Structure 1
Amino acid sequence: MNETLDTIKKAVETVHPDVIQLHGSETPEQSAAVKEAFPGIEIWKAVHHDPNSLLLLEQFLNNVDGFVIDAKAKHAWGGSGESFDWSHAGRYIEYGRRMGVPLFIAGGITPDNVQELLEHEPWGIDLSSGLESSGEKDPEKVRQLEKRLCENE
C-alpha cells in the first residue's frame, strides 16, 4: 500500500499481474498515474466502508478499472479478518452495476458468513484472512467455503 511507481514497476516485472490493487491512501491523481504507467493492467482501488465511501468511489471512477470495498479496521489497512455491516453492501453493488465497473466485497468473509453476503449478489468477493488459521491459509476452511459456494449454485 502507498507504494511508489518504482516499487510497483519492480513488482509488475517480477509477477506480471493482471490487476494492481491500490490499497492505501492513494489519491485519484496517483491512481491515474499508475494506470498511465501500466497500460494493459487493470487498476483496482480498495476503499474502506464508511458513510463517505460512495463519494470516494465517484472521485476514483475515471482512474481505476474496479473497486474492492473492505472493512475499516482501526489497526490495519486490510487483511484484518473484520467484516463491515453487509446491509450496506447493496448500495455499493448497485453503484458498480450502474457505473459498469466491477466491485468486489471484502472483509472477513468466511465459510460461516459467505451465504449472507451472497444474498446481496455481489459482482465478486475478495477472500483472504477469513480463510486463515494462525496467519496461513487453512485448507479445511477453503474446502468449507467451496462447499458453501457450490451449494449456492
Structure 2
Amino acid sequence: MSKTMVKFCGNKSLEDYQASVKTDADYLGFVFTRSKRQVTPDQVAQWVGSVHPRNKRLVGIFVNQSKEFILHAVRTVPLDVVQCHGDEELTFIKDLKAESDVDIWKVIHHEDESTVNKLKPFLGTIDGFVVDKKVGNQYGGTGTSFNWGHIPLYDKVSCENDIPYLIAGGINVETLQELLPFSPQGIDLSSGIEENFAKSEEKMNLIERMVREHDKRTNTR
C-alpha cells in the first residue's frame, strides 16, 4: 500500500514543534537560514530534548550556507535530513555526504517543463528531492505554487531512479484537493498549516485526513 509522505515545515517555536509532534507527519522541518521562520540549531536541540519527535525524521533547511554550519546543525539537533534549498552545486553536496551520515535532499525550483533536467547531475548522489517555486530572490516559503501539471515529469524521474520526492509551495487545505489527483509521493507544507503565524493543529489534522482518504481511494482502485 502506497502512502503519501507528509512534511510539516517551518516550525519556529516550541509551541509549533509540540503541535507538529502530535501529528502523524513523516518529517518535521526547521529553517536554519534567513527567514521569518528562522531558528537556530541550539533552539531546536532544546525542543527535541524536551519532547521526543517519536518516529518522525527531522529536516534542516539551508540556503547556500557553509558546510561547517550545516555540519554543526547536523550534530547539534541532531538532524536526519539536510535539505539544500539554494544553488548548491554537486561538489558541495558530495562533500557534505562524505562528512556526514544524513540524507541529502536537493530542492529544484520549477520554472517550466525543462526544469526537470536540472536534477540529472544530482541523481546518484542525493537521497531525495523537493520541487518548489522560487519567487524573486526568495528561495521558498512564499506560499506560491508552480504548475502542478508538470508533476508527472518529476514522478517519472523518481520512479526511474528509485528516489523519493516531495511537492512544496502553495499547499493548503483548499489547494490540496487540486494537488492530490496528481498523486505526488510527498507534500511539504509550511504557511498552509498556520493560523495567525502559528502551527494549527486543526489544519494539520485536516491535511492528514485528506491525505489518508486519498491514499485509501488510490490503493483500492
- TM-score, length basis structure 1: 0.91
Structure 1 residues 76 and 133: CA distance shift in structure 2, 3 A: farther
Give the stretch that moved more between structures: 58-67 or 139-148.
Answer: 139-148
1-side partners of 2:131 and 2:117: how far apart?
13
More displaced, 120-129 or 136-145? Answer: 136-145
Match of 1:109 in 2: 171
Q: Which runs of 5+ in 2 are unaligned?
A: 1-62, 217-221
Q: CA deviation at 1:121?
A: 1.5
**Aligned with residue 96 of structure 1, among 154, 158, 169:** 158
Shift of 1:58: 0.2
* 8 Å contact kept, 1:20–1:41: yes
Deviation at 1:62, TM superposition (A): 2.5
- Consecutive unaligned residues of structure 1, counting only runs of 5 or more, are none
Q: Percent identity?
A: 39
Q: Distance in 2 between matches of 1:129 and 1:47?
A: 19
Give runs of aligned pairs for residues 3-152 of structure 1, distance below 5 A.
3-38=65-100, 40-51=101-112, 52-152=114-214
Rounded Cα–Cα distance in structure 2 between residues aligned with 1:80 and 1:138: 18
| Cα shift readout 1:23-45 (whole Å, capped 9, x = no counterpart) | 0110111111111111x210000
Pairs aligned (count): 152
Contact 1:70 1:84 in 2 (8 A): yes
Mean Cα deviation higher: 3-12 or 131-140? 131-140
Q: How large is the Cα RMSD of the aligned pairs?
A: 1.4
The TM-score normalised by the length of structure 2 is: 0.65
Partner Cα separation in structure 2 for residue 70 and residue 41 of structure 1: 22
Distance in 2 (alpha carbons) for counterparts of 1:151 and 1:62? 33
